[in-house]
Amino acid sequence: MTAIVTSNVDLVVEVIDALLHPSFDGDHHLQHVEAISEFLGRQPEDGAGSVLLEARERFAARHGVDPMCFALEPDIEASAIAGRLKSYLPHWPIYLYHGTVVSRLPSISKLGLQPRFRKSGWEKLVGAEHLNQGVFFTTSWRTATNWSPALRSGSDAGNSRRGTVAVIRLEAQHLKYEPDNCAQACDCVFVGGTVAVDKAFYLEGRTTGIANWKPLPRLG
């Protein structure tokens, strides 16, 4: 069943993310073909319609292609389409994403996202001082899954749900963020201090295709 994308902005954000990170979606690119077709069927006069049609064709062309092909060679055409779609948004990024694990969601809901939740293996690479300065995010929910402690040794191993990947989504315009100059990826940023999660959404588990975002319950 095709995931429901609730608005023009959310659809464009999701399409941009999927265009730029094709290797994450395996053989689920047709979900985006169906979502775009369904949306344009309801709003054929949408301003971004012609570019969404280009995106739909690109997703259809990806169907059946080995994801490793995209990991080895950038999809230049898809990047160009994503760039054109960004011009239809009020700003970019619309959302910022933080990779974590399911076991931490209750404390995040109660206390917010806090710098350096616990001792981290990243200290050897960037130093404790860098980790202590804030909370780290990416502009893509797909790449945020790679930063989850569930994918690193010493995390919540031994309990399948405790060690399950989770991603927190926050609206970017409400956050004062800066580029993470210690990161090699260009989509990494950080926000100084503790970050409130009053309007946060979350995604549970490794996902391919369109994400199913849920409001983060307030436990505080």
Question: Residue 114 and residue 193: Cα distance in Å, rounded?
Answer: 7
Query: With 80 as the cut, is the pLDDT of residue 59 above it?
Result: yes
Q: How confident is the model at residue 142 (pLDDT cuts 50, 70, 90)?
A: very high
Higher pLDDT, 104 or 45: 104
CB within 8 Å of 117: residues ≥ 6 apart: 104
| Pairing between β-strand 134-138 and β-strand 188-192 as defined by DSSP bridges | antiparallel
pLDDT tens, position by position, 64-84: 888 888 877 888 999 999 999
Q: What is the mean pLDDT of residues 22-40?
A: 89
pLDDT tens, position by position, 180-190: 877 667 788 98
Question: Residue 152 and residue 90: Cα distance in Å, rounded?
Answer: 36
Q: How confident is the model at residue 220 (pLDDT cuts 50, 70, 90)?
A: low
Question: Residue 151 and residue 144: Cα distance in Å, rounded?
Answer: 11
Question: Would residue 89 be called left, alpha or beta, if left means φ above 0 and alpha means ψ between -120 and 50 degrees?
Answer: beta
**Where are any strands of DSSP class E within 107-194?**
134-138, 165-171, 177-179, 188-192
CB within 8 Å of 154: residues ≥ 6 apart: 121
The pLDDT value given to residue 152: 54
Burial of 36 (0-12, 13-18, 19+ CB in 10 A): buried
Listed residue (2, 16, 95) closest to 54, CA to CA: 16
Listed residue (137, 55, 54, 33) closest to 93, CA to CA: 137
The pLDDT value given to residue 156: 40
| In the chain, domain spans | 8-86, 95-215
Question: By percentage, how much of the chain surpasses pLDDT 70?
Answer: 80
Q: How many helices (H) and strands (E) does the chain have?
A: 9, 7
The pLDDT value given to residue 67: 82
Query: With 60 as the cut, is the pLDDT of residue 155 above it?
Result: no
Q: What is the mean pLDDT of residues 181-208?
A: 86
Query: With 50 as the cut, is the pLDDT of residue 94 above it?
Result: yes
Domain 95-215 indexed as CATH 3.30.460.80 = no
Alpha-carbon dihedral sign for residues 181, 131, 144, 179: negative
